[in-house]
């Protein structure tokens, strides 16, 4: 049995819980008449927007939000009873969506479960994927899907309570670009590699992917505040010759790389001594966002024309929005801003990608 979704949530929105206020501000700026139907979990909300999922998704596809990480539609709601039989109920609830699944485009099923239940996302993905393939002949591609069937299992919605219903499954089908992120909930995870220096590497990897940035072949890159060398290592993996600026030590595995030049000085000192010119400048320093922005503008002169810059802006606990606006206004003096996002691997910071004007 499915439930009529009129006046019910028609999308799921996900953000970092610490930026809940700024994410909801983005929501209401884009859809003033939106309604938060339920808070599913920290940073996960069931939303009703009168104009529907596609209208809002198209707005954000053209101008991505900073703090909303992921959205997915809700086309079907069905009750569950917290037993293994739920798998068949979810499969049956998904079957009507096979009629609108494009058979010429690869798809994947992405599942999130909130609450303790006797099955895992993999179990749902498997049974639903098999049913969709049989009914639509669409090819399954979990790595590069062009359409996504989102499955979200949540505690029962109060407005849809029924006898023995403990949970609901919310299902929706969308083209991948409309979800903001290709990953369920925007949770982009990278496998830990042998030789990895720091968790910070994931921030740069995610930035390169999310902003669709290609580093120049055999380029020269500058890593400001490089220690212990995580971002330098990622730049080397992408074929860059790196100058690493930091008075502290680099990890021996990075320091021993003959294509890494370590300058034991601060970024401010290096700028005073007529530094080289670079294709790429990155900056993940722990510095007030406005001071860091000013430093990056000063370094814009050390970029080749159309050179690329990637940085994190560390945000204060209070008055974060004014700090962001001020920092971006400073950066615009030297750069064209490509994108600004609070990435999955960010913490109390945002990542900015730019090109030299």
Q: In what order do the strands lie in the sheet with 35-41?
A: 35-41, 44-48, 11-15, 68-73
Please check whether residue 109 is in contact with residue 129, taking contact to mean a CB–CB distance below 8 angstroms: yes
Residues 204 and 196: beta-carbon distance below 8 Å: no
Q: Give the phi and the psi of residue 220 in degrees, each rounded to 5.
A: -110, 130
Among 95, 263, 314, 319, which one carries the catalytic annotation?
314
Q: If residue 243 lies in a helix (H) or strand (E), which one and from where to where?
A: strand 241-245
> Which residues on neighbouring strands pair with residue 354, listed in sequence order?
309, 337
Task: Give me the sign of the Cα torsion angle 226, 231, 236, 242.
Answer: negative
Measure the CA–CA gap between 274 and 235, rounded to whole angstroms.
Answer: 23
The secondary structure of residue 96, as a DSSP letter, is: G
Q: Which two tokens stand for residue 314?
A: 């560390």
Residue 49 in tokens: 């927007």
SS3 category, 161: coil
Q: Which DSSP helix (H) or strand (E) runs through 48?
A: strand 44-48
Q: Catalytic: 120?
A: no
Helix (H) or strand (E) holding 212: none
Closest CA to 174 of 59, 54, 94: 54
Residue with tokens 């993999």: 122
Which residues have a catalytic role annotated?
Answer: 314
């Amino acid at each position: 049995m499915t439930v009529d979704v009129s006046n019910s949530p028609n999308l799921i929105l996900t953000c970092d819980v610490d930026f809940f206020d700024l994410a909801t501000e983005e929501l209401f700026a884009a859809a003033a008449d939106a309604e938060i139907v339920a808070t599913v979990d920290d940073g996960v909300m069931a939303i009703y927007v009168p104009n529907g999922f596609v209208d809002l998704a198209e707005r954000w596809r053209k101008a991505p939000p900073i703090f909303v990480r992921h959205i997915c539609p809700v086309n079907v709601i069905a009750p569950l009873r917290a037993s293994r039989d739920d798998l068949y109920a979810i499969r049956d609830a998904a079957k009507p969506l096979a009629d609108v699944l494009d058979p010429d485009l690869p798809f994947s099923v992405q599942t999130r479960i909130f609450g303790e239940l006797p099955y895992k996302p993999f179990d749902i993905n498997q049974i639903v994927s098999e049913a969709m393939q049989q009914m639509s002949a669409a090819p399954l591609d979990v790595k590069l899907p062009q359409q996504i069937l989102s499955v979200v299992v949540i505690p029962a919605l109060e407005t849809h309570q029924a006898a023995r219903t403990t949970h609901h499954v919310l299902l929706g089908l969308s083209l991948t670009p409309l979800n903001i992120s290709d990953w369920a909930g925007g949770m982009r995870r990278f496998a830990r590699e042998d030789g990895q220096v720091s968790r910070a590497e994931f921030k740069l990897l995610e930035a390169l992917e999310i902003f669709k940035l290609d580093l120049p072949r055999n380029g020269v890159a500058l890593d400001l505040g490089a220690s212990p060398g995580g971002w330098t290592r990622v730049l080397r993996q992408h074929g860059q010759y790196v100058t690493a600026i930091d008075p502290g030590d680099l990890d021996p595995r990075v320091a021993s790389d003959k294509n890494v030049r370590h300058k034991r000085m601060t970024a401010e000192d290096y700028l005073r001594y007529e530094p080289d010119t670079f294709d790429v400048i990155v900056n993940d320093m722990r510095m007030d966002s406005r001071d860091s922005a000013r430093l990056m503008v000063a370094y814009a002169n050390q970029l080749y024309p159309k050179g690329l810059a990637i940085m994190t802006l560390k945000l204060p606990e209070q008055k974060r929005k004014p700090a962001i606006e001020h920092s971006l206004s400073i950066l615009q003096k030297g750069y064209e801003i490509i994108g600004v996002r609070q990435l999955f691997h960010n913490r109390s910071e945002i990542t900015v990608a730019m090109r030299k004007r």
